[in-house]
Amino acid sequence: MASTSTQFATSRRMSIYDPLHHITMWDDAFGCDISQNMGLSSISQVDTRLANKTEYNSQESLEPSSDNQEAKNMSDKLQRRLAQNREAARKSRLRKKAYVQQLESGRLKLAQLEQELERARQQRVYGGLLNTSNGLLSSNVNSGIVAFEMAYDLWVAEQQKKDNELKDMLQSHVTEADLRMFVESSLAHYYELFQMKGNAAKSDVFYIMHGLWRTPMERFFQWIGGPRPSELLYMLMPQLEPLTDEQLMSVSTLKHSCRQAEDALSTGMEKLQQTLAQGVTIDITGVGSYNSQMTLAMERLEGIENFLNQTTYDNKC
């Protein structure tokens, strides 16, 4: 029983700290229903907190919406910019492709033009060489020029061999005697070309004078049957340097002599052209007059041939 009373006493003492006990005591003291007021106050506070939380949540829901709108706008701008860049890149590729096609077309046209020129040149020289009906030489073809064309192709092939031989000799450090022999052989090779041109000039002096067998680049430097000797020296000088004082003096003297000879030949050629221009119109009034005019024309052609031979002689020197 003692334990039971003790437990009961303890229970009563512990009930003092119970909130309901305090509320009951306050109710008795103030004579009013505090618990009811407390309930209403708590409810109002809860409602206020709920309202504030709802407003806060609504604000939070609005803020992400504005951020999403800005992100969407930025994404649209980025997409437009990327689309513009892709379009610009596509146009650039198209322009580049068109430019490359234009270059390729120009290259093909140039190659075709060169082939046509070469074909026309071959037809002019070799075309009609053989008559397909009877296999005889055509009367329109100059056999002397045809022979010169063939011989010139062989001469060029031999000259290329000599050029390669000279490169090998310079790299192998041969003796001066061997170089001298090679120089003499090369000079003899060029003398052979001069002889070929002289023989062809007897068949067609204008063909040799205007260098119709040469390439367009070579004809750019054409003078009378070939380039000016002074121009050849000008092109060779950078390859010959350095030279001694004695060698420089010899080259200077050679240049001066070449210019004097070129001036004399140019003056004589101008006078000959004037003479030919005066005799272009031939008054065919009779056989005798025609024969005399033809004789005079042949003499003038021989004068052109002499000028050509003189130019060849200057090139030899």
pLDDT of residue 126: 46
Instruction: Write down the residue that tokens 């140039």 correspond to.
Output: 110
**86-123 residue pLDDT tens:** 898 988 888 888 888 888 887 887 777 777 776 666 65
* Average pLDDT, integer, range 265-283: 71
CA angle 276, 210, 145 (to 5 degrees): 100
Note whether 138 and 131 are within 8 A (CB).
Answer: yes
- In 3D space, the residue among 194, 170, 193 whose CA is nearest the CA of residue 182 turns out to be 170
Tokens matching residue 186: 């090369």
Instruction: Write down the residue that tokens 């800005």 correspond to.
Output: 70
Judge if pTM exceeds 0.75: no
Tokens matching residue 212: 């119709």
**214-273 residue pLDDT tens:** 888 888 888 877 788 888 888 888 887 788 888 888 888 888 888 888 888 888 878 777
The rounded Cα 225 to chain-centroid distance in angstroms is 35
pLDDT of residue 40: 46
Q: 7-11, 39-43, 227-231, 305-309: which range is least confident on average?
A: 7-11
pLDDT of residue 53: 52
Say how many C-beta atoms besides its own lie within 10 A of residue 202's C-beta.
11
pLDDT of residue 158: 92
* Average pLDDT, integer, range 133-160: 74
Q: Assign 137 to helix, strand or coil.
A: strand
Q: Using 50, 70 and 90 to split pLDDT, how confident is the model at 50?
A: low
